Amino acid sequence: MNLYFFPGACSLAINIALREAKLPFTMTEVDYTTRRVSDGTDFRTVNPKGYVPALLLEDGRCLTEVIAILDYIDFEAPNADLIGRRGTRQRQLALEWLGFLSTEIHKSFSPLFRPDTPAAFLKTGRRHLEKRLSILEDRLSSRSCLAGNAPSAADFYLFTLSRWMGDVGLQMDSWPNISKHFVRIETCSSVQNALISENLCPQMSTQ
């Protein structure tokens, strides 16, 4: 398998999950300015959507979108327990929070990164994101992980998104439970190795 990624983007969640599942894979970095990879190939010939993550399988199929790829990894490595066994409450919770992260958190960041977003909308968008982060803060008030007793795909996705908070002017200290969660997940070996592979520095666990 080959993971197309951009350092620190949502593809980091896939990078972590593949390592947690102990599945062999290679990595190809995408230049987000040119939408090309190192050999000059137009990334859009791999994924016409033009964004990461994209996971090219051995049979030539290409999977895209974070949750779909995480589900595939979970199927290929069920013992890693990334989402949970089908029909269990753990899996239902993991999918619930994965969906929340994708639609309510991930997408709320998007306009805050765009240089052409009007200032008035930036203020509204940031307030919307803060409200959604408060839901996660409450969820983590009495538990260390979003679903189950051990880190799951949902936790790796949240970790990835939490790394963006400072980039849009949000102080993680304002959400102490999210901050504690971030530190816990960052210490996982799969997370450390994924960060190294993307030339990213740990943000909090070494402070």
Q: Which domain holds residue 173?
A: 89-188
* Domain identity same for 39 and 118: no
At residue 91, does pLDDT exceed 70? yes
* Domain identity same for 96 and 74: no
pTM: 0.95
Q: Examine residue 202 and state whether it is found in any structural domain, yes or no.
A: no
% of the chain at pLDDT higher than 90: 90
Q: Examine residue 194 and state whether it is found in any structural domain, yes or no.
A: no
50-55 long-range contacts, Cβ below 8 Å, gap at least 24?
52/4, 52/5, 52/6, 52/9, 52/10, 52/11, 53/3, 53/4, 53/5, 53/9, 53/10, 53/11, 53/13, 53/14, 54/3, 54/4, 55/1, 55/2, 55/3, 55/4, 55/14, 55/25
Supply the pLDDT for residue 204.
63
* Domain identity same for 131 and 150: yes
CATH of residue 177: 1.20.1050.10
Over the stretch 130-154, which tens digit does the pLDDT of each residue have?
999 999 999 999 999 999 899 999 9
* Domain identity same for 57 and 7: yes
